[in-house]
Each structure stands twice: as C-alpha cells, then as structure tokens.
Structure 1
Amino acid sequence: MAVKTKPPKIADDTARRPMAAGRIWLVLAIALLVGGILNAPGLRKTALGQPLGWQRDVAIFLGDRLNEVSNPLLLDQPRAGLQALAGRSGDDDVDLSLPSPTRPANPQLPPKVPVKKSFSPLAPLKVAIAGDSLSITPGESLINLSPATGSISTIGSVDGHISTGLARPEVFNWPAHLSEVISAGGLDAVVLTLGSNDDQNLTGDGGVGPLLSPEWETEYRRRVGGLMDSINAKGATLFWLAIPPMSNDVRYDTRYKPMNEIVRSEAAKRPGKVVLVETEPVLTFFGGGYAQYLPTADGGFIQIRTGDGIHFTRTGGDLVAEAVLAAMRKTFDLDSWRTPSTTSASKKGATTTTGPTPTTTEVRKKK
C-alpha cells in the first residue's frame, strides 16, 4: 500500500522580507508630517522660543507652514481638546503685542505728582514683587523686611521668571502677565526688576535690531513706557529696579548703562507713579563700579554678589530691599500711623489725644 506524502511547504519569503529602506524613510516622513500638522501650534511656539539665529528662522518658517495647513482643516483641535481636559487651555497661545505709552510724548504741561497716600496696619500697602532672576533674592529680602514696617503687605512669593524681559514677548509677555496679576490682586504697588536679559535684538511687534541702534533704542523706549503706563492704568505705582553693576564692566558700561538711562528718563516723565530705584549706590564703594564684597563696621568684608558676578547673596539682596523700602517711604506715608495725633475740640477749648493706630495683632486680641 502506497503511503501518500504531503508536498513540502514552500516558504513564503515575501511575508518575512524586510521593508526596503526607502519605504521606511517614507513611512517615517509621513508620520513626522502628520505629527507636525496635529501639533503645529506647539511646534510654532517652541520655534519662537528658540535662541535668535538662522535655526530659529528655519523652525519658525516650517512651523508657520504646518500651522497654515492644520488650522483651516481644524486638525489642531484634538491637541486643543486634550489641553482643555488637562486644564491647560491656551498653552500654545503666543502674545507678541506690547503696549505703547498712553502718556503724550510731548505734554504741554508737566505731569501732576499724585497726592502722597497713607498706609497703616489696618490698610496696608499691597505690593507684588516680580521680574527676571535678579528679582528673586532682593524680592525675598523685601518680603522678610516688610513686616517690620507694619504698613506693607507683600502678596505671595516673588514672581520671578528667569531669562525674561521686554526683548522677547514670545518667551514671556510681561505687560500681559502683570496686567492680570494687578487686576487679580488689587495691588497698590509693583516692584519690578527687568532689563538684564534685554541686551539683544528685539522680537515681537515692532521688533528691530541691531542692539542699541537708534531704531532699537526708540522701540525699547516704547516698550518701557508702555509697560509703565499699563501698570499705572491699573492704579498701581511702579518701583523699577535699575540694572546693577556687573563684573563684566564692558557689558555693563556699553549696554546696561544706556538701558538704565532709558528707564530713568521714562520714569522721570511719570513722577510719583514710576520710581527708579538706583541699585549702584548701595552695591559699590570707593568710587563706584562693581564690588564683590563691601566693608563692614568691624573692619572686615562681607560678600554681596555671587560667584557669577551677576546675582546677589542674601546680604546683597537685603541692601537692595532696603533701598526699595527707602524709595517707598519717599513715595508713600508709611509711618504716620505710629505717631499720636492731637485734635483740638472747637468747643470748651479742650484737646483730645489719640494713640497710634493699633497693630493687626492688637485688633485680633480685642476681637
């Protein structure tokens, strides 16, 4: 009896054949293109935030082209929906607009100095502290020193954002941010430190270069004045800290001094509403300039600047904070609540003496 045998199976090499390299690259290119279209808003924002240079220009060009496809076809909506579910709506928004000054460029009459406002423990001066990385240590010192005044209330912690300024609103838009902060907090004053990151070409609306060219200075002055007026329009007084001396003398003399002068001249146009707090006098000795250490009363020295020659030690931050408090005392009445007042009665010729306004602690005890 013959045994039937099954014919041998022929291996299907086509099923196991590796994909050609060209196809792999094609699939990857399509995947990247689809991913880029779906995430076009985020890619554009990332491109705008890159360091200035040709790489940024190319990235922005590609991001804009992807956005031109994604937005009309609503292909960016899945990303927006996921952001909304995560509570991060608006993450891809980029505000490149910066306000212009609202004060007339050449007013016929000098600006009026506002009436000096009084503050006390029961009605304290509400202050927010914000700025670039140079704002953080002095801001913390100001928060620590303010309670001793009895009439200043700092709101929250220091609102510090490193590597920010007015040069690149796509990285961080300070006028828009501070407008929201002031509106939410009902603030009386803002202590602001900006400028040390602005010695570069300007981007955003009105962007121009090169650094410190006449066109650059005109645009930077517009941004400075616009920020000042936007803060004043919310009812807050602005205390702007001048850029301090740096260990890099050339950079400070050729870049930061002219920028300080722009802020100084714009503040002078707004007396009582914008105060430039000069930092150099409290951070230097023996004729000015950069100082890493300052002499102490006992004949020693104490470090006021960190090793990078830019930022502050705690002692340096305290010195700057004390300069801010001194400027506030010149601008506001922070201490009259401590002094007893005497009121003459029109009848019987008698006088009534009242003590100082009770502190917050005393008020709580009475309750």
Structure 2
Amino acid sequence: MKIRNLIKFIFLLLFFSSSGFCKALLLGDSLTYIYGEAYKSIISKDADVVYKVGSGLLNRSKYDWFSAVESVNFDKYDLVIVSIGTNDFNREITSVNYSRSIFELIGRIRNKNKNARIIWISPPFLKNKEHDILLSNTRYIVRSTLNQLGVIYFDITKDAVLGERYSDILDGKKIRTSDGIHITKYGANLVVEHLKLFI
C-alpha cells in the first residue's frame, strides 16, 4: 500500500511539473506585464514578473538588463520566460553586437541557475511599418542566436498566434492596443495558451 501511494505521489509530482506548475519568472520590457498577468491567470499564480517599460538590449543607459539579472535569485525558478526586443530596432540583420548581447544575457542567467529552462517570446508585429521592418531584423537575430544557445524561441509571428501580419483584431476580438505596440488582455491570453505547448 505504501509503495502504491509513493508511486501516486511521484506521478502527481511529475505531472504537475510537466504541466507548467513550476515556479516561473517572466522578465523583460512592458509586454512582460500583460504576459505575466495572463500567465498567472492561465498557468500558475505562483509566478514572478520583472519588467521595465521601454527597455531592451541596445540601450544600456536606459536600463541595464545585464546588471539587473545579477540581482535576481534564479535558484528559485524552474522556468525563465524572456520578452525583450520590442524596443530594439536593428538596422542590420547580421548585428554581431546584438547577438553578443543575447549570449551575455542568457549566459548570466545560466551562470545563476544552469537547470532553469528558458523560453524567449519574440517581439510581435508592430503597426508602424518602418519600425516593424527593423524589428524583423531583431526577430531574425534573436531566433538564430537562441538556436545556437539551445534556448526555446517562441515566435508569436511565425506561429500565427496573433495573426500572420499586424492586426488590431483577431476572430472579432481586439488583440492589440491603440498604440500599435502593446497587446490586450485577450491577446496576451492567446500568447500564453500557445506558450503552454512549450512548457
């Protein structure tokens, strides 16, 4: 009887850990706030959210993510979800410096917890066409760099999570805010529902 109970306990432990019921940290730019709210609502209330409006990897003087992650106790987390890049407009698709910044950020996280799974949510499409063209370079650099690092890249544009091009509305519901950058609660819920597939 004790063995049966032990087997049930182990099964439940494995089930919940593989179903997203692990301690998660979401960190990044202002999109992280709404993703965090959706994550807590859909997956687990036991998640922490660290975000800085207007932040990215290109402008360390505005906010230095590399120093910021040094103050985080990553040992508390099984899962780290990153949403950085929407404010980083790369003029070149082969920006070595931007790629190095991603390597550095991931390296610092892994130095603090080598066992934490990392998922990076891509920047969404933007309403401003000029900015969106530059951001397509950023998405390319992030994706190719993360592939080298073995980090999961959750592309909310390629997977058509929010539509295959910029759109305010999807299936009759508003998914983007009026600024053409941010995402509504409903849009964030769609992102997190798809995110569950990677957890």
TM-score (norm 1): 0.46
CA shift, 1:127, in A, is 0.7
Q: How does 1:1-367 map to 2 (within 5 A)?
A: 119-121=14-16, 124-147=21-44, 154-156=46-48, 158-183=49-74, 185-199=75-89, 212-213=91-92, 217-233=95-111, 234-235=113-114, 236-253=116-133, 255-271=134-150, 274-280=151-157, 281-284=160-163, 288-295=164-171, 301-328=172-199
Shift in CA distance, 220/129, structure 1 to aligned 2, threshold 3 Å = same
Report the residue type matching 1:129 in the other structure: L
Letter in 2 for 1:164: S
Deviation at 1:154, TM superposition (A): 3.4
1:249 CA drift (Å): 2.3
Does the aligned pair in 1 maintain the 2:103–2:149 contact within 8 Å? no
- In structure 2, what is the Cα distance between the partners aligned to 1:139 and 1:238? 15
How far apart are residue 121 of structure 1 and its match?
4.4
Q: Aligned-pair distance for 1:175?
A: 2.2
2-structure distance, mates of 1:121, 1:128: 17
Counterpart position of 1:349? none
- Name the larger-Rg structure: 1
* Runs of 4+ residues over 6 Å off in structure 1: none
Give the drift of 1:324.
Answer: 1.6
How far is 1:232 from its partner? 2.3
Post-superposition Cα deviations, 1:170-224, rounded to whole Å, max 9, x if no partner, equal 32211222232134x521111111111122xxxxxxxxxxx5258x811111001
Q: 2:66 & 2:126 partners in 1: Cα distance? A: 26
> What residue number does 1:331 align with?
none
1:138/1:316 contact within 8 Å kept: no
Q: Secondary structure at the match of 2:23?
A: strand
The runs of 5 or more residues in structure 2 that have no matched partner are 1-12
Structure 1 position 321, deviation (Å)? 1.0
- 1:229 maps to a residue whose letter is G
Shift of 1:313: 0.9
Q: Give the C-alpha shift of residue 325 in structure 1.
A: 1.4
Q: CA deviation at 1:228?
A: 1.5
Q: Distance in 2 between matches of 1:267 and 1:122?
A: 24
Q: Report the AA paired with residue 258 of structure 1.
A: N
**Conserved in 1, the CA contact under 8 Å of 2:92 and 2:137?**
no
Superposed displacement of residue 120, structure 1 = 4.5
Q: Check the 8 A contact 1:128/1:154 in 2, yes or no.
A: no
Aligned length, in residue pairs:
181
Higher RCO, Cα 8 Å, sep 6+: 2
Instruction: Provide the TM-score with structure 2 as the length reference.
Output: 0.82
Closer/same/farther in 2, CA of residues 221 and 313 from structure 1, 3 Å limit: same
